[in-house]
């Protein structure tokens, strides 16, 4: 009886074990879900604040320029200017000069350095008054320097020069207004053609043989939609023979120059009266009122803009600056018997698409 009971219990154990091994559990298994890393939150790009109106930038502030001892006729300064230049409609430059006021009317200018070529560009020229400051002008002399947008941006080196020969000199201030708005073309680039403008006596000799190269070939980029020539020119000297009224060259003799394009007269430049007696800086301490040939003491030298009817996109053209014929007889009684024209010419190209500079070839 006991043996049968043991046998039954053994058989029952086998049956239960087999049942457990073959059973199927359909209940859900609690398996941990995979950890998915969260994507980093990327903030929306910060947009530059929209600019409207006029933004002013100070550069030189009553910088002394003088001659003798440790004093210099020029000064340089590095400044920070806007980088969103495509949104700028125009740039105006203002030059003020305070006393001590040198007694003579002399050549003066402002330049900017092209960071790529390290070449200085003349962006404005003026003649100092005889011993008077610029206080009759609220902001000083005004210059439109929009043509130089492509270099008046970011970190910029500026230079001022005044051909003063006294230790009194001048205190020169320069500031720039960046006027935001829709420009005529979004992109522009500027290239020097001629720059014989180191000072009044380093210009092109007039009425005599010289080795100055006044003819260049200019290659215009393919996408140019507008091309123009920017010129500043002023004459010095009391060379003879005089014109009627005792007008020596090149300060007093009225002349008509020509810019030639492909050897044809294209743009006349009349160097005649511009109204010296109407100068707001009156009662100067010298011979300020009589008309010079294209400039006046205490005024900006005019900037001449000549727009090509055909922008010459993707083409080359020949540029030449031609003086009206005249021969210096070297008989002047002045200490300097020569006549000089200090000149700068630039070619400016514009487009609605990014544009490279025109290239100038000798």
Residue 105 catalytic?
Answer: yes
Please report where in the chains the tokens 């680039």 appear, as a residue. 189
> Distance between CA 110 and CA 92 in Å, rounded?
13
Distances (CA, A) of 310 to 176, 188, 224, 306, 307: 32, 17, 10, 12, 9
**pLDDT, tens digit, 9 for 90 and up, residues 58-96:** 999 999 999 999 999 999 999 999 999 999 999 999 999
> Distance between CA 141 and CA 30 in Å, rounded?
85
> Distance between CA 218 and CA 244 in Å, rounded?
39
Mean pLDDT of 277-295: 97
**pLDDT, tens digit, 9 for 90 and up, residues 232-255:** 999 999 999 999 999 999 999 999
Q: Which of 114, 122, 147, 251 does the annotation list as catalytic?
A: 251
H helix or E strand, kind and range, residue 343: strand 340-351
Residue 251 catalytic?
Answer: yes
Question: Does pLDDT of 15 surpass 70?
Answer: no
- Mean pLDDT, the chain, integer: 90
> Distance between CA 93 and CA 52 in Å, rounded?
18
Q: Which of 98, 105, 198, 291 does the annotation list as catalytic?
A: 105
Confidence class of residue 51 from pLDDT cuts 50, 70 and 90?
Answer: confident
**pLDDT, tens digit, 9 for 90 and up, residues 146-165:** 999 999 999 999 999 999 99
User: What letter does residue 99 receive in the DSSP assignment?
Assistant: S
Cα 34 from chain centroid (whole Å): 61
Question: Does pLDDT of 3 surpass 60?
Answer: no
Q: Which two tokens stand for residue 6?
A: 């043991």
Residue 335 catalytic?
Answer: no
**pLDDT, tens digit, 9 for 90 and up, residues 216-227:** 999 999 999 999
Q: Which of 38, 61, 163, 198 does the annotation list as catalytic?
A: 163
């Amino acid at each position: 009886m006991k043996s049968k009971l043991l046998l039954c219990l053994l058989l029952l154990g086998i049956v239960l074990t087999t049942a457990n091994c073959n059973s199927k559990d359909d209940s859900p298994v609690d398996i941990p879900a995979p950890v998915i890393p969260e994507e980093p939150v990327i903030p929306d790009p910060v947009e530059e604040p929209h600019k409207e109106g006029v933004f002013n930038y100070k550069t030189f502030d009553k910088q002394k320029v003088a001659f003798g001892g440790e004093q210099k006729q020029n000064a340089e300064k590095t400044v920070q200017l806007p980088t969103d230049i495509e949104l700028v409609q125009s740039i105006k430059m203002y030059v003020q000069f305070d006393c001590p006021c040198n007694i003579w009317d002399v050549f003066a200018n402002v330049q900017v350095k092209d960071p790529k070529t390290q070449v200085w560009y003349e962006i404005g020229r003026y003649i100092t008054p005889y011993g008077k400051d610029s206080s009759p002008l609220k902001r000083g002399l005004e210059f439109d320097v929009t043509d130089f947008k492509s270099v008046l941006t970011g970190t910029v080196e500026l230079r001022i020069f005044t051909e003063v020969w006294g230790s009194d000199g001048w205190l020169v201030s320069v500031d720039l207004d960046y006027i935001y708005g829709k420009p005529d073309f979004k992109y522009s680039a500027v290239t020097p053609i001629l720059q014989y403008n180191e000072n009044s006596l380093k210009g092109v000799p007039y009425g005599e043989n010289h080795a100055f190269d006044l003819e260049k070939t200019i290659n215009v980029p393919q996408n140019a939609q507008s091309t123009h020539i920017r010129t500043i020119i002023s004459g010095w000297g009391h060379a003879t023979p005089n014109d009627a009224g005792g007008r020596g060259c090149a300060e007093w003799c009225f002349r008509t120059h020509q810019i030639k394009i492909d050897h044809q007269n294209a743009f006349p430049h009349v160097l005649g009266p511009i109204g010296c007696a109407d100068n707001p800086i009156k009662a100067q301490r010298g011979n300020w009122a009589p008309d010079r040939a294209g400039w006046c003491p205490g005024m900006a030298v005019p900037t001449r803009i000549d727009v090509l009817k055909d922008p010459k996109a993707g083409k080359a053209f020949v540029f030449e600056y031609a003086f009206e014929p005249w021969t210096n007889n070297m008989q002047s009684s002045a200490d300097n018997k020569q006549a000089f024209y200090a000149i700068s010419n630039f070619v400016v190209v514009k487009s609605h698409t990014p544009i490279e500079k025109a290239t100038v070839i000798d």
